Every structure is written in C-alpha cells, then in structure tokens.
Homo-oligomer: A and B are copies of this chain.
C-alpha cells in the first residue's frame, strides 16, 4: 500500500470583496490530489485537499518541502500498525521532520492541504464517510446526524449599499440559514451600526447575527464597538483585535458581556493554548474558530481538542472558520458546535454537498466514503482536473 503520485496546483480564489483587513481580489488556494495504489470498485483511491480562504495557496512549500518528504518516505512508514490503511499521525510526523518549532503560518497551510487529502484517502479505504471514521476512532462511535451552520457574508464591496446588504442576508434566510455573519471594522462605527441595524431589520433577533472585525481594531476602538454593540445582544463579536493580542481580548471580555469568537488566525495547538491561557475567553459562552485546513490539518486539530478538554472546554464551543466539507465532518464526527458556511462566495470551495440543502440552520452530510467532494460538482470538476 503506497502513495503513487501527489499532484498540486494553485487556483484563484478571487472575489472583489474585502473585510476590515484585506482585499480578496488576488486570493489563491492550493488543491492537491494524493493518488494511491489501493483499488476500490476497480479504480485507484484518490484523496483531495485544498486550503480555505484567507491565507493564499502554499504551492512553493508543497513542492519544495512537503510533497518531497512524503514521496521520499519508506511506504510502510506511512501506514498504521496493521498495514491496512494510511496513518495520518505517522504521515504528519514525516511531513514535519526537520521543521523547527514555532513560526506557525504558511507551512501549516501546506500540511493542512495534504492532511485533508490523506483523510479523504483513509475514509475511502475504510469505505465510510469521514465523519463516521472520526466518530469511531475518537468519539465513541457517535456522530451528529446534522451540523449547525451559519452564513458568513456581509463583506465590504465597492458600490454595495445597505439595501444590497439586506438583500444578501434575505437570500441566506431563503436558503435555510437561521444565523448570518457580517463584516465590521472596515467603516466608521456609525456606518457599521447603520449596517447592523439594516441587517437586523431582515434577520430580526440580535441572536441571529454575528459581527466580525477581522482583527482590525485597537483596544480603544474595540471598546467603543463593544459598548455600542452590547444592547443588540448579538450571536457573537468576532476577532475584535489582533489575533495574538490576548491581553486586548481578555480586557475586552471584562467589558463585553455577550459571546465573543476568535481563533481563525492561530495555526497550531501551541498558539491555541496561549489563547486559552491568556485570552480570558469564557468556556460557557465564547466560540473558538480554529480552521484545520490552515492549521496543520486534522491531526493537529485533535491535539487542540485534547488541549481544550484539559482546560475544561467542550468541543461544542468550536465552530471552525473556512466553510469547507472537512470541518463539516469534524463537526459531525467529533461533536463540534457547528461550522461556518459561505453560500455563494469563494466558489467552488464555499458550501457543501449538492442537494444537501440547509434546513432550519442545519445541514446533513452524504453517506459516501471519504469527505464527499465528489458530491459537489463544481468543486469536483476542478479537483478531478488534477488527475486527468
């Protein structure tokens, strides 16, 4: 049992949208295919992976370091003890050989992309959907039948006025979502409040709306936002300040009584642990958004969940960033609190399996083996090109 070939390419993930920090007009993603010599229904098992939006593709790192390490490894060093499947933990150790500790960014994307493809392979070889593999291996066999999802949008865009924002949010509700998220921090506080009021006119309750400042605000500005946001009782206030400014986060938590959310820009269990140690987050209230596809994959995510458990946090507080099918499997298989979703943006990566519509804010997963990229036609077309 061995890896026959690994292919990668960079694809544009460009949209003319922006958050408070960056513009996405040149955003890219890496897609990879891991081709094995294992046959299922007469065809080689192939696993696919990609990285979620926000941090660019990792093509150079994949080509220069991480794919060669896998290709040069002794095939048996990548297998589980029974030798009947690949072992993602052993593969991870091979990928990270001769990498110094600390400095978790970019390479965490390269490893995340390969890890995604490998779990797709592993579940296909086990002939189970990935969430069931994860539940069986790490969660006592119990998977959730459906996963809470929310529609992340409300980006800043040239010419996008309040009525366009309302129309966007109405569309998400029509699609079956019950919770939405919008960007803040890229305009004045007064204008953001007008945008929030307009969205609340559509979604009704403050508990149906999360707001996301994408790490843009300094402490005084974040505090002003917090004071003005408080009466709305929003679903959560996301990433008010720099993702590594744990003191800002902790201080803000002393003044903002409702839920906050952060973590999408922390890419290792060590960084996540520092957030938990120093960020003052509240395990009964706040949300953690670590995204395995940007953070060394599922193997590292399992370490993060273990660290959270040791600190008294439930996996239910985790609602990952990224809106991809892998995190949907993690949510169902490991009992997370839900998953982000980007209906209509970051295509063809945003959204889940075709024909599995969101119903009353929840989505189900297909029963096919693997992650199920084959059930998302536009995405699968792009992934399949890698192996044609």
Give the copy number. Answer: 2
Which 8 A-B pairs give the minimum distances between C-beta atoms?
A60-B60, A102-B265, A103-B105, A106-B106, A102-B243, A105-B105, A244-B270, A22-B98
- Asked if A277 is an interface residue, CB under 8 A from chain B, the answer is yes
* Nearest CB on B from A176, distance (A): 29
A245: CB under 8 A from chain B? Answer: yes
| CB within 8 Å for A265 and B55 given contacts A60-B60, A244-B271 | no
24 contacts between A and B (CB under 8 A): A21-B100, A21-B101, A22-B100, A23-B98, A24-B98, A25-B98, A27-B98, A28-B64, A55-B100, A58-B60, A60-B63, A101-B244, A102-B105, A102-B244, A102-B267, A103-B266, A103-B267, A105-B105, A244-B268, A244-B273, A245-B273, A274-B274, A274-B278, A278-B278
Q: Does the CB pair B99–A22 fall under 8 Å?
A: yes
Query: With contacts A22-B98, A100-B22, A271-B244 known, is A10 near B105, CB below 8 A?
Result: no
Instruction: Note all chain B residues with C-beta closer than 8 A to A244.
Output: 101-102, 104, 268, 270-271, 273-274
- The interface centre, meaning the residue of A58, A100, A214 with most chain B CB atoms within 10 A of its CB, is A100
Residue of B nearest to A267 (CB): B103
Asked if A339 is at the interface of the complex by the 8 Å CB criterion, the answer is: no
A186 proximity list for chain B (CB < 8 A): none
Which residue of chain B lies nearest to A101 when distances are taken between CB atoms in the complex? Answer: B215
A54 at the interface (CB under 8 A from B): yes
CA distance A266 to B102 in the complex (A): 7
A346 CB to nearest B CB, Å: 14
A101, B265: Cβ atoms closer than 8 Å: yes
Task: Say whether A192 faces chain B, with CB atoms less than 8 Å apart.
Answer: no
Q: A247 within 8 Å of B by Cβ?
A: yes
Q: Which residues of B contact A23 (CB under 8 A)?
A: 98
Instruction: Across the interface, name the chain B residue whose C-beta is closest to A295.
Output: B103
Q: A252-268: which residues lie under 8 A (CB-CB) from chain B?
A: 265-268
Q: How far is the CA of A250 from the CA of B102 in the complex (A)?
A: 17
**In the bound complex, CA of A268 to CA of B265 (Å):** 14
A242 touches B (CB below 8 Å): yes
Interface of A is mostly: loop
Using a CB–CB distance below 8 Å, which chain A residues touch chain B? 10, 21-28, 54-61, 63-65, 97-108, 214-215, 242-247, 265-268, 270-271, 273-274, 277-278, 294
Cβ 8 A contact of A265, one of B25, B65, B103, B106: B103
CB distance from A218 to the nearest CB of B (A): 12
Residues of B within 8 A of A22 (CB): 97-100
| Pair B265/A100 contact, Cβ less than 8 Å | yes
The residue in chain B whose Cβ has the minimal distance to the Cβ of A56 is B65
User: How near does chain B come to A227, taking the closest CB pair, in angstroms?
Assistant: 23
Could you tell me if A98 and B26 are in contact, using CB atoms closer than 8 angstroms? yes
Instruction: Compute how far the CA of A273 lies from the CA of B243 in the bound complex, rounded to whole angstroms.
Output: 13
A102, A105, A215: which has the most chain B beta carbons within 10 Å? A102
Q: Are B100 and A214 in contact (CB under 8 A)?
A: yes
Residues of B within 8 A of A215 (CB): 100-102
Cα A130 to Cα B246 with chains together (Å): 35
Which of chain B's residues have a CB closer than 8 A to the CB of A274?
Answer: 244, 246, 274, 278
Tell me the bound Cα distance from A278 to B290 in angstroms: 22
Closest to A60 in B: B60
